[in-house]
Amino acid sequence: MPESPDAFVTHDLNPAPAGLETGHHDLGRGVRLRYAIGRGPAEMTSRGTVLVLQGRNEAVEKYYETIADLNRQGFTVASFDWRGQGGSGRETFLPGIGHVGRLSHYVDDLERFLREVVMDRCPPPYAILAHSMGGLVALSATERLSPLVQRMVLTAPLVALPGSAGLRRLRSAVAGLLHGCGLGFVPLRRVRRLDAAAPIAGNVLSSDARRSERNRALQTAAPWLFVEGLSASWLWAVLRAARRLDDSDRIARLDLPTLFLLPGDDRVVSTAAAERLAWRMRSGHSIRVAGARHELLQEADRFREPALAAIEAFLAEALPRSMPLPPIDEALIGAAVVAEAATEPPGASEPVAATEAAPVSR
């Protein structure tokens, strides 16, 4: 376990970005969210704040590189570990199991963190960058986020799991049965750990060997940040929330401008379902990144750099760069003063003598 509850992990392959502030935010009832705010170098002038929402079984440290990249684009960055994973509080007596009772718990946590931490400590305007499960939560929270956030970018959002509709119904039925019987904490899905000996060709998350090794080293250095399985309640909550995103009335209320960045070789979530949702949203846009795997921000540069450029371009109108004022030319100001003085008429600056009025004869 870490030496202190606020400890963040760094190593040679994963240095912390400049100006990183860390801490925990207490939500009450035993729930504490571990978070970080990346303010960037001291000389950076912020153009606004991007709130990064992680996917399942991730932690802030996994996004150190992305935080630094967004800082270079001029954004302040905030992120937090979801309850039940990373360094945030667990909801069961099994710390190795990722668990949440309802997806609404994630939605509540997101809104409170945005209002109580981000809006209190980070400069506006605000945007969201969400990955996988984080994208599902952001979509589910859109009606609450719309008054607070200007733009939203979703990378490989968990709109649906791959496989047939029948298989998804079976998964949902089994998970729902266990949840309803009070056995929601039982793990139904095992989380595969990154294996150094496994060939990169078999890695469904990223095709980049260097970033995959960095993430594996993080898991080895801080195993307490990652879970080994996902509970029945977690699976039931996710499948139920994803199914609601197929409802036309709910889609009509998704009015926040949203960009979907979709890996073309995603074997973790359904790219087709996400493209269909973006098309049905009146404010949705989608870009497919051909050949990229699920974790687009952990991918090779040939996929990752165009994605970062698309993110900045989409956010630019709402979170524009502040244009620096030109330097003051004191010599030019002096010349203007002299020129103005030269244009005054003779005697204009001399006082006018007072005269007595002549008496009026009646």
Amino acid occupying residue 15: P
- The pLDDT score that the predictor gives to residue 191 is 66
**pLDDT average, residue stretch 17-42:** 93
CA dist 66 and 297 (Å) reads: 7
CA dist 240 and 229 (Å) reads: 19
Give, in degrees to the nearest 5, the angle at Cα 222 between 220 and 225.
Answer: 120
Contact in structure between 299 and 211 (CB atoms under 8 Å): yes
- The pLDDT score that the predictor gives to residue 181 is 83
Identify the band that residue 199 occupies on the pLDDT scale cut at 50, 70 and 90: low
Structure confidence by residue, pLDDT tens digits, 315-346: 999 999 876 555 666 776 666 666 666 665 65
Structure confidence by residue, pLDDT tens digits, 231-281: 888 888 999 999 999 999 999 999 999 999 999 999 999 999 999 999 999
- The pLDDT score that the predictor gives to residue 355 is 45
Q: What is the DSSP-derived secondary structure letter of residue 14?
A: B
What SS3 state is found at 48? coil
Query: Which of 63-77, 193-207, 324-338 has the least mean pLDDT?
Result: 324-338
- The pLDDT score that the predictor gives to residue 71 is 98
Structure confidence by residue, pLDDT tens digits, 77-125: 999 999 989 999 887 777 788 888 889 999 999 999 999 999 999 999 9
Q: Which helix (H) or strand (E) holds 50?
A: strand 49-53
What SS3 state is found at 147? coil
- The pLDDT score that the predictor gives to residue 346 is 59
- The pLDDT score that the predictor gives to residue 277 is 97
Q: What average pLDDT does the structure give for the chain?
A: 87
Structure confidence by residue, pLDDT tens digits, 183-193: 778 877 666 66
Burial class (CB in 10 A: 0-12, 13-18, 19+), 246: middle
CA dist 223 and 348 (Å) reads: 83
Structure confidence by residue, pLDDT tens digits, 164-190: 777 778 888 887 788 888 877 887 766
Domain 20-315: CATH architecture, name and number where available = 3-Layer(aba) Sandwich (3.40)
**pLDDT average, residue stretch 2-14:** 73
